[in-house]
Structure 1
Amino acid sequence: MRAFSHWINTMQRCDFPRRLRAARPGAWSLVLAAALCAPPLWAQQVPFGLGNVRNFPEAALRGKLAVLSTVDAELNGRAIRMAPGMRLFSPQNSLVMLHTVIGQSFKVNYVIEPSTGMLLTAWILTEAEAAQPRPAAK
């Protein structure tokens, strides 16, 4: 037991902060000031519409999407199934959980999975994006 306590007492501990204060007395105050004066992380992100441009795939079409359930939707007035990995993106380009938008309708750009005919991806459009021309479903 004595050997263990001796090892604990002589163990080298990291004294980097002490050495930093000794080398530069004002360094910690600069770090603290920078942390307190910096805007929060959410404010550092550029809001959508201020230079952000979403690039949609060439195959994306324009339409009106009404989410009926987590697996069923109505696209341009016709019933359609959503693919198991269906992704719905908000105007800020973040994922939208389908159960949170049941019963709502959106103007979207969308991609249909060719082999199954299911809705694979949809992007909810901003007013500026909706004003840009895009082919509609045939």
Structure 2
Amino acid sequence: MNAAHTPSPSRFLKHALALGLGCALLGGMLPASAQVQSALGGMRTFPDAALRGTLTITAASDATLNGRAIRMAPGMRLFSPQNTLVMAHTVLGQSFRVNYLIEPSTGMLQTAWILSQGEADQPRKGSDTVDRNYRSEYDAVQK
């Protein structure tokens, strides 16, 4: 009997670990753009109730939406144009064009989607627009 041709379990384990480590290192060397999908074919679908506005996160639970202060709900989700979650503390002070949802019972910001340029170009009703059925002298001066 020749013991030299029988692989030992520890030798097999070493080769499996080396192969796994090599694959992990190779995957880590890919550019970030290869790992993140584009904005899902360019356009995402948003809920019908979503409005359009400009969002600036000012603190851990506070933001301004269309120039007005608003509280963020405890579970508020902010999505990037690639539809990945964005941690609010990483974008403090930055302004984004967003579609957003307000939680009806509390009036807090519940979800916001940072828009790509193509999504921002699509018309959508927003609370930053003036919706009234009358005109004033101020309106005539602004034009």
**Offset at 1:53?**
2.7
The answer for the alignment partner of 2:102 in structure 1 is 112
Alpha carbons 2:70, 2:109 under 8 Å: kept: yes
The answer for the alignment partner of 1:31 in structure 2 is none
Unmatched 5+ residue regions in structure 2?
1-8, 10-25, 132-143
The answer for the alignment partner of 1:87 in structure 2 is 77
TM-score under structure 2 normalisation?
Answer: 0.64
SS in 2 for 1:84: strand
Matched, 1:135 2:125: yes
Listed one character per residue, the Cα deviations across residues 78-105 of structure 1 (whole Å, up to 9, x for unaligned) are 0000000000000000000011011111
Alignment of structure 1 residues 3-18 onto 2, 5 Å: none
Alignment of structure 1 residues 44-63 onto 2, 5 Å: 47-49=37-39, 51-63=41-53
Unmatched 5+ residue regions in structure 1?
1-12, 14-35
What is the one-letter code of the residue matched to 1:120? Q
Percent of residue pairs identical: 66
What is the one-letter code of the residue matched to 1:136? G
**Offset at 1:45?**
5.8
1:83 and 1:55 map into 2 onto residues whose CA distance is: 22
SS in 1 for 2:53: strand
Mark the CA change 1:132 to 1:116 in structure 2 (over 3 Å): closer, same or farther. Answer: same
Q: 4+ residue runs of structure 1 moved beyond 6 angstroms?
A: none
Once superposed, what is the RMSD of the aligned Cα atoms?
Answer: 2.9
Which structure has the bigger radius of gyration? 1
